[in-house]
Amino acid sequence: MKQTLEKISIEEAERLCQLYMDCQLSVLEETELEFVLSQAEIDSLVIRETRELMGISRSVKFSSVTKHQATHILLKWGLRVAACVVILLACVTILRNDLFTDDVECIAFVEGHQVSTEQARNIAEADVARMEQFMRTVETQRATEQAKVEQFMNHKNNSR
């Protein structure tokens, strides 16, 4: 397997490909074969099949199906995150409008015992504060993921 790219023949490459398909190569040998197949200018049916199994492609471009699937997955996750943010914003708005008026009575139970209105209001306000912190965390995570996606797409566009 320590052959150089110039010295490997089609027959040797096909024999190694067959060993790969028969699961007879070590991990190191598989890695070396993958490198050789990605760099060498040899071609045959067995070599093409092995390249496909290894996921090696001579042109590193996404097919339109792969782009569509990736876009679809990103769109689904984006819509899910957006829906969660909208729901959380609606809950915060409703709770804020209801909690911060003096004519609303808050009732809460802690360990099965009712607490005073002031304690119930404090508990509710603490829950709203935690929810707002959660929303900020989700928004930060969404922005980070969006930046990663944009960086990935820019990298792919620049590598073409």
Question: pLDDT of 59-111, one tens digit each?
Answer: 444 444 455 666 777 778 778 887 777 787 777 777 776 555 556 677 777 77
pTM: 0.34
Residue 18, in any domain of the structure: yes
Same domain? For 93 and 129 the reply is yes
CA Rg value for the chain: 29
36 and 82, same domain (yes or no):
no
Determine the Cα–Cα distance for residues 158 and 160; give it in Å rounded to an integer: 6
Q: Looking at the 3D structure of the chain, how many domains does it have?
A: 2
Percent of the chain topping pLDDT 70 = 79
Distance between CA atoms of residues 74 and 22, nearest Å: 37
Q: Which domain holds residue 25?
A: 10-54
In a domain, 143, yes or no: yes
Specify whether 77 is located in the same domain as 37: no
Higher pLDDT, 7 or 18: 18
Residues 75 and 136 in one domain: yes
CA nearest neighbour of 20 among 43, 44, 56, 54: 54
Query: For 41-86, where are the E strands, in sequence order?
Result: none
Q: Are residues 82 and 44 in the same domain?
A: no
- Nearest Cα neighbor of 13 from 39, 27, 28, 26 is 39
148 within some domain: yes
Q: Which residues contact 88 (CB under 8 A, 6 or more apart)?
A: 131, 134, 135, 138
Structure tokens at 82: 């957006």
More confident residue, 101 or 151: 151
In a domain, 5, yes or no: no
Looking at residue 102, the DSSP 8-state letter turns out to be T
